[in-house]
Chains A and B, each alone.
Chain A
């Protein structure tokens, strides 16, 4: 039996699990919580394998050295990768304890059961438990790969709803890094460069001090990095507001507003990765082409990014809501020129980030200031306009699709050509590093576990729709976006699925077939067929009306990243001058379900976020950078606009590998909305978002 990757990378059982406190099981994981429920699910897996109750599990808050290094919490991978490791580590630990108990009791290991951490011999208390045995079982050992995890039919905790461990604190107004204010804390705000090339040439310090009087502010200026530090948070904010008015920059960015539009992507410098497959032979098959796009999208965290740092006696401690404590330590070591052993990084929760927002930058801001002003905790909280204006946004994408149908009306050949900014490049350079004039960062490391010769790119995830298609080609052009871009929920996957699944509806129309029947005819995997059929039944597909009536029902399906969850979605809506969502549906098969309600929560949230992207969202670029820096400029879907969402999970796949659900519903939801709008209008809109303007133009053209 092999050892799962995270456990193999942290190959000592006591890094993951321990019984130091009577009655308590310590479980340490390397993934962080930001409201997606990862920790609760992982605690369930641990409790299941150890046969302790959920109440007995103490999850260790992720912190360098105290937690295993599992890199970043990304890609809907926590349950799959971390879950497999925590399951294996707990199974190994349990086997060691069972062996020790059997030895003490002179019985066969198979005669023992565990309940609430107590060992039972033939169903009766044996007087032994994890804690009485803890001193004689050494967990500072490598995993053997031999311990067997429980079979799913014995699961009592996995597969059941448990309330999220992080939620109660949030309902009572606690929980966030933003709330930490250690004794002596100083508040800081940072003046941001209008673009990476901009250099600061003038700062009106007198005006700044005047603006904050009678409060006082310290101005820390080094190259183009300027921080305002004060005992008063309001003074630090007033200072940066005033500084922004009078600051003079050389080579400030000056962006044309047209760069906000996806039509600009093809004009930007790019690196191209053509498909290795030959172009199609000329044929007499029916060929169809169309282009789809999504603009730049903000993560839109409800709380702006925050960082807290203290530098004392040569050691740096940083509290962060970044996606992983070890990658943050490596970044801090580079920017602050410190040995990693001198840096402790502690995770504290922030607002949902849905990818790589300003979290890394805010932590680095705080650390950079702290090492220059030792002895007092430095708290940096970005302003709303910093979060919108300076976070790395989700990149715009333009996707062109060409397909051929054979004589039987099936897809015979499918080609995807993608223009996209980077989905992961934002990690390469942080704002403070550039402002300080430090040497350029090394390129981000390739993700681990990739076979040789395989290129990872977020832009090509789900580049081909999830059907039995004989010939496929993918070409990607990675463009240099005019603003920093980085990971946003699902990377390119949801955009490609949006494009592909709308295009598949176009192909169905070309073939003269019902869109769901057209899909089913080209799927052979029974798990895929099951989610498609169930979703069609839930949404009343059989009663779908005529196109062009103003009322639409749309459908979409995809297998996430071609190997993850099977997801189908449907959307019902009306369109007059704008789109009004009436109801959405989703059915997902994500293999073994750990916590059904937590999965549904993620799937629902993904549907609503997708609806918001589809109807409302676009980052606007102009002048010095991002021009949409308030919620008025960047509207998202509101309470009186969200439709009810019905989500079902396939619960009959508990023997299958678990796949994450955090990102998987967005693509099918986007496409279902796109197809429903096309059905309602009798004309297709291909560029997101579906604004009043675009609807009016489509109606006029029709």
Chain B
């Protein structure tokens, strides 16, 4: 059904008139021009469209916007920007953690959700949290190292 829907995205209230069964991914990309979450499979199997909803990272292609009113939605655009990067983004660039990069937006979102839950994860905890994200280029080891580096820096900063 087409109706007015209020979404809270990256801390901003966005009112839209859309079909309430539209997927969040479709709305982010085609209505709100937020393109970091990207289409990979449309089935919640690859993680390229991950966003954070009320603290949990989840596939935006599997969510209907009609069910998201009142929930806090965060996309990669809300995590950091080129002029104000998140420590995860800085660490990914520093360790060159990525090749084609198509999976990175989803993985960065997944890593952010993990560090919010667990600021000092081990390598195997990071791997477990990211295991639903696919990376075809084989950049996994660099990605695991970059998440660990960002976590370490953030913990040190929090302690200081």
Which residues does A use to contact B, with CB under 8 Å? 34-37, 163-164, 166-168, 170-176, 178-179, 181, 214, 232-234, 237, 300-304, 349-352, 354, 381, 383-384, 597-598, 601-602, 604-609, 612, 630-632, 636-640, 642, 644-645
Contacts and interface: CB of A to CB of B under 8 A. Distances in A.
A233 B26 contact: yes
A304 B138 CA distance: 18
B93 A171 contact: yes
Nearest to B144: A639
Contacts of B74: none
A325 B92 CA distance: 30
Nearest to B94: A163
Contact of B96 (A167, A632, A645): A167
- Where chain A touches its partner, the secondary structure class is loop
Contacts of A179: 29, 35, 38
B81 A351 contact: no
Contacts of B37: 173
Interface string B64-102: 000000000001110011100100010011101011111
Contact of A303 (B30, B48, B131, B132): B48
A645 B43 contact: no
Most buried by A among B30, B130, B140: B140
B137 interface: yes
A35 B26 contact: no
Contacts, number: 169
Interface of B: 2, 19, 22-23, 26, 29-30, 35-43, 45-46, 48, 75-77, 80-82, 85, 89, 92-94, 96, 98-105, 108, 124, 126-128, 130-144
B98 A171 contact: yes
B144 to A, nearest CB: 7
B134 A636 contact: yes
B141 to A, nearest CB: 6
A298 to B, nearest CB: 10
B104 A168 contact: no
B96 A302 contact: no
Contacts of B130: 639
B98 A631 contact: no
Contact of B48 (A302, A349, A606, A608): A302
A607 B99 CA distance: 14
B99 A36 contact: yes
A35 B100 contact: yes
B134 A351 contact: no
A598 B46 CA distance: 25
B96 A175 contact: no
A608 B135 CA distance: 10
A355 to B, nearest CB: 12
A607 B138 contact: yes
Contact of B140 (A176, A214, A608, A631): A608
Contact of B138 (A166, A172, A605, A632): A605
Contact of A167 (B26, B101, B124): B101
B136 A172 contact: no
Given A167-B96, A173-B77, A303-B48, A640 B128 contact: yes
Given A167-B93, A168-B93, A604-B141, A384 B41 contact: yes
Q: Which 5 A/B pairs are nearest by Cβ-Cβ distance?
A: A173-B36, A170-B101, A608-B138, A35-B100, A352-B100
Nearest to A609: B138
A642 B41 contact: no
A304 B45 CA distance: 14
A173 B105 contact: yes
30 contacts: A34-B100, A163-B94, A171-B98, A171-B104, A172-B76, A172-B81, A173-B77, A234-B23, A304-B40, A351-B100, A354-B136, A381-B39, A597-B96, A601-B96, A601-B99, A604-B141, A604-B142, A605-B139, A608-B140, A608-B141, A609-B136, A631-B46, A632-B43, A636-B134, A639-B126, A639-B128, A640-B131, A642-B127, A642-B141, A644-B141
B40 A384 contact: yes
Given A349-B100, A384-B40, 11 more contacts: A34-B100, A168-B93, A173-B35, A173-B75, A301-B100, A352-B99, A384-B41, A604-B141, A630-B43, A639-B126, A640-B131
B100 A631 contact: no
A36 B98 CA distance: 10
Nearest to A162: B96
A155 to B, nearest CB: 21
